[in-house]
Amino acid sequence: MLRRFSILLLLLSVPLFHLHGQDEDDSEDGADIEDFDFSMKPRFSRPSSGAGIALGFNLTGVKPETLDTELGGDLVLTSLDVYVVRKGLLIGGSWTSARLYDAPDNYDAFDFSYAGGLLGYEHSLFYGRMTFRPSIFIGTMDVKLIKSRPDLTADTLLNPGGREVLERLWEDDSFVIRPAFGIGWSPIDFFQLRAEVGLLYPTNRGKWEELREPVYSFQFVFGSNR
């Protein structure tokens, strides 16, 4: 009798072990799926990856009077940045030009611009909604100031032909660097607002040293940030 009971107990226990093994396999499969789903979610803090185009409006500490005492108004700089970010490493190009409002009528040419390469590191927080970016711009700056001299043009003794006389105040270029730090915020995908502060530093000496001033930039960025 005891032998028959033992055999019956053994026969009943086999399917129970089989069912328990299936439950463990199902739970392990579920854990694998959960781990996979979790791994596909972006991390709260991570190096950025993506690409973008930034349109910026900049204000600088450089005053027009620094370039020429007869100049007034404000210098408003517009910039275009194109960049690629891979695991935090940022590489791109930047172009900036200035427009002088309220320029005198006798100015024949005015150019204040710089262009070059952009290197930096970008880190994302809040699942890519916020970015922090230290960067450095390395390139060349061009300055051209040419104005007409009506006083000399009208002087028949110095200018008997009556031709227009132009004075070349400044036409030169300089190697320039611009370290900067920016913070960006993405209210929606593929769009970002960024504020940046930097230091414009021409390496030439002399009157170029007066152009070493802060630059404040507000940018509209279009691109991806995975």
The pLDDT tens digits of the residues spanning 41-80 come to: 567 899 999 999 999 999 888 888 888 888 877 788 999 9
Please tell me the distance from the alpha carbon of residue 118 to that of residue 137, in angstroms, as a whole number.
5
Closest CA to 132 of 78, 196, 183, 186: 183
Q: What's the Cα-to-Cα distance from 36 to each of 23, 41, 225, rounded to whole Å? A: 20, 9, 22
Please tell me the distance from the alpha carbon of residue 100 to that of residue 64, in angstroms, as a whole number.
8
Q: What mean pLDDT do residues 110-122 have? A: 95
At residue 159, the 3 state secondary structure works out as coil
Tokens of 37: 């789903």
pTM of the model: 0.74
Kindly list the domain boundaries of the chain, sorted by start residue: 1-41, 46-225
Q: What mean pLDDT do residues 125-138 have? A: 94
Query: Is residue 81 predicted with pLDDT exceeding 90?
Result: yes
Are 180 and 160 in contact by the 8 Å Cβ rule? The answer is no
- Sequence-ordered strand ranges (E) for 29-165: 45-47, 50-60, 75-86, 89-100, 107-121, 123-125, 130-148
At residue 38, the pLDDT reads 47
At residue 71, the pLDDT reads 82
Query: Is residue 152 predicted with pLDDT exceeding 50?
Result: yes
Q: What are phi and psi of 106, to 5 degrees?
A: -85, 5
Q: Confidence class of residue 143 from pLDDT cuts 50, 70 and 90?
A: very high
Higher local confidence (pLDDT), 226 or 16: 226
At residue 9, the 3 state secondary structure works out as helix
At residue 224, the pLDDT reads 82
Class of domain 46-225 (CATH, top level): mainly beta
At residue 107, the pLDDT reads 78
At residue 30, the pLDDT reads 52
Q: Confidence class of residue 158 from pLDDT cuts 50, 70 and 90?
A: low
Q: What percent of the chain has pLDDT over 90?
A: 50
Query: Is residue 37 predicted with pLDDT exceeding 50?
Result: no
Local structure of residue 73 (DSSP, 8 states)? S
Q: How far is CA 96 from its chain centroid?
A: 13
